[in-house]
Amino acid sequence: MLAFITAFAVVFLVELPDKTMVATLVLTTRYRAWPVFTGVVLAFAVQSVVAAAFGSAITLLPDRVVAGVVALLFGVGAFMLLKEGFSRDEDSADEGGTRAAVPFWRAALTSFGVLFAAEWGDASQLATAGITARYGAPIAVGLGAWLALVVVAGLAVLVGRKLAGRLPTHWIQRVAGVIFAGLALVALWQVF
């Protein structure tokens, strides 16, 4: 039980201000809430299993390699968000609340793919691996980490639904892109 509680608390605190919440929030402003939540929860389930299963192996990787991969992932995410956020003409009508009309499965798969990729090398994945290695309880740690990620995703979906009706999407993408760029710089700094 201690492994479960530790994993939940650590992952919740690490993920609350993380790119995962920002990415889920941005996805919710673009697509309906349920497909986003479904895709995100499934991505978190897979990532939690991976992190718990390979906990001891991941902790053996050199810190600089992990930090370099994290910097690259953040950098790519920042580029994509900023490119899309600034690609719109300033005079175009990017009304708040405009969502892409796509089928449930497409929005869910897109959400799954974005969060699945974003979680590789993430602090929560590394924390899950470390806690698994420490306690030797991969199921309890994996479930605790997954539940924390689900709670954070639920909060992001709720906030995203509220913002979708009030803020232009390109502003949310720009802010998220700047946050991702900052996280990329922090991770890059850890490489050196």
Mean pLDDT (10-residue bins), the chain, 192 residues? 90 76 81 91 92 66 69 70 66 48 86 84 77 82 93 85 65 72 79 78
181-183-184-185 Cα dihedral, nearest 10 degrees: 90
Q: How far apart are CA 119 and CA 100, in angstroms?
A: 24
- Residues in Cβ contact with 170 at an 8 Å cutoff, skipping those fewer than 6 apart: 84, 85, 86, 88, 94
Q: How far apart are CA 187 and CA 120, in angstroms?
A: 13
Check if the beta carbon of residue 93 is closer than 8 Å to that of residue 169: no
pLDDT for the residue 33? 87
pLDDT for the residue 42? 95
pLDDT for the residue 95? 45
Residue with tokens 């700094």: 189
Token reading at 106: 């497409």
Token reading at 78: 């920042």
pLDDT for the residue 142? 92
CA distances from 85 to 98, 106, 122, 169 (A): 14, 21, 24, 8
Q: What is the pTM of this model?
A: 0.64
Check if the beta carbon of residue 111 is closer than 8 Å to that of residue 119: no
Token reading at 42: 């499934």
